[in-house]
Amino acid sequence: MDVQFINSFYSYQKTGNAWRDLNPLTKLNICFALALSAVVIQDYRFGVVLITAACIVAAFAHSFREFFSTFWKIGLTLTIFLVIVRQIGSRSGNVTPLINIFGWQWYLEAFIDSLDIITFILGFSGWMLVYFVTTPMRDLMYVLEKRGMSHESSFIMLSAMQNIIDLRKASVMILESQKARGIETEGNALVRLRAFFPTLGPLILGAITSTEEKAIAMDARAFSVKRAHTFLREIAPMAPYEKILIAAAWVCFLAAIVYRAYPAVSSLFK
């Protein structure tokens, strides 16, 4: 019997990583405040700093691979789309030629304008992505339930998020089993589309079966009883220094608002 493993459930759950061990609400406040500051500033220089900081935090939390596997796809799609759209649609203010591609003149002003948009979107999505790849949703639901949320609401939210992950894993498993039976599942878009539709039947039946199993498990654990529920895992309450971190993050957000609004406000008194 692993006594150390058993005793670990008598203390607060820790991972040994400073970022991951922060209270989920602390991380949510920090990430959301920094994400909103990118929306307020909308400057590529500030956006690059935020994106770099998000990458550093993801690497520090040992989640950089999971973070970057999604982040680079968002960034590449936005960059290609917005740079081309701004070069086509932005006419006024373009005075500095940047590059000429087969007679198509690109301008520096339109490029910087597109870069501002790209970096603020990536700054926002990057910090929110950092939160979701470093924070298990069960931990967030735990602290929200401790703050007064009903256990029915927390279960619905957690179940909805978990079902997306479960359905994706189930679809991959079904495709792999079909591939093992000799059914062609790889190739061009048409081949993949033909292979996808046969997976819907087992996927839907599996989801229905899973729902029934969850209902039986909930009933066995007295989920609907009207009293305080117990938890297998305990998360440490928010420490005083975490409140300081939250305050600092929101001060940065307020400073971004002041910085953005200052020129407009000061012009009123001229």
Is 143 within a domain? Answer: no
What is the distance between the alpha carbons of residues 143 and 24, in angstroms, rounded to a whole number? 7
> 89 and 163: one domain?
no
pLDDT, average across residues 192-196: 68
> 19 and 85: one domain?
yes
What does pLDDT average to over the chain? 80
Q: What percent of the chain has pLDDT over 90?
A: 27
What is the distance between the alpha carbons of residues 57 and 19, in angstroms, rounded to a whole number? 8
Count of residues for the chain?
A: 270
pLDDT band for position 174 (cuts 50, 70, 90): confident
The three-state (H, E, C) secondary structure of 16-72, written as one string = CCCCCCCCHHHHHHHHHHHHHHHHHHCCHHHHHHHHHHHHHHHHHCCCHHHHHHHHH
Higher pLDDT, residue 125 or 13: 125
The three-state (H, E, C) secondary structure of 76-107, written as one string = HHHHHHHHHHHHHHCCCCCCCEEEEECCEEEE
Residue 37 has pLDDT above 90, yes or no: yes
What is the distance between the alpha carbons of residues 203 and 168, in angstroms, rounded to a whole number? 9
> 20 and 110: one domain?
yes
Residue 23 has pLDDT above 80, yes or no: yes
The dihedral built from the CA positions of residue 107, 108, 114 and 115, taken in this order, carries a sign that is: positive
Q: What angle do CA 155, 157, 158 make, to 5 degrees?
A: 65
Of 160, 141, 135, nearest to 229 by C-alpha is 141
pLDDT band for position 268 (cuts 50, 70, 90): low
Total structural domains within the chain: 2
> 176 and 105: one domain?
no
Higher pLDDT, residue 30 or 228: 30
Task: Give the tens place of pLDDT for each residue, 141-153.
Answer: 888 888 877 777 7
- Residue-number span of the structural domain to which 206 is assigned: 148-230
For 138, 215, 218, 225, 226, the CA distances from 222, given in Å and listed in that order, are: 19, 11, 6, 6, 9
Is 249 within a domain? Answer: yes
Task: Give the tens place of pLDDT for each residue, 72-114.
Answer: 988 888 888 888 887 777 666 666 777 777 767 777 778 888 8
pLDDT band for position 184 (cuts 50, 70, 90): low
> 104 and 186: one domain?
no
pLDDT band for position 201 (cuts 50, 70, 90): confident
Of 161, 158, 166, 132, nearest to 32 by C-alpha is 132
Is 254 within a domain? Answer: yes
Is 42 within a domain? Answer: yes
> 125 and 218: one domain?
no
Predicted local distance difference test score (pLDDT) of residue 8: 64
Residue 1 has pLDDT above 60, yes or no: no
Q: What percent of the chain has pLDDT over 70?
A: 80
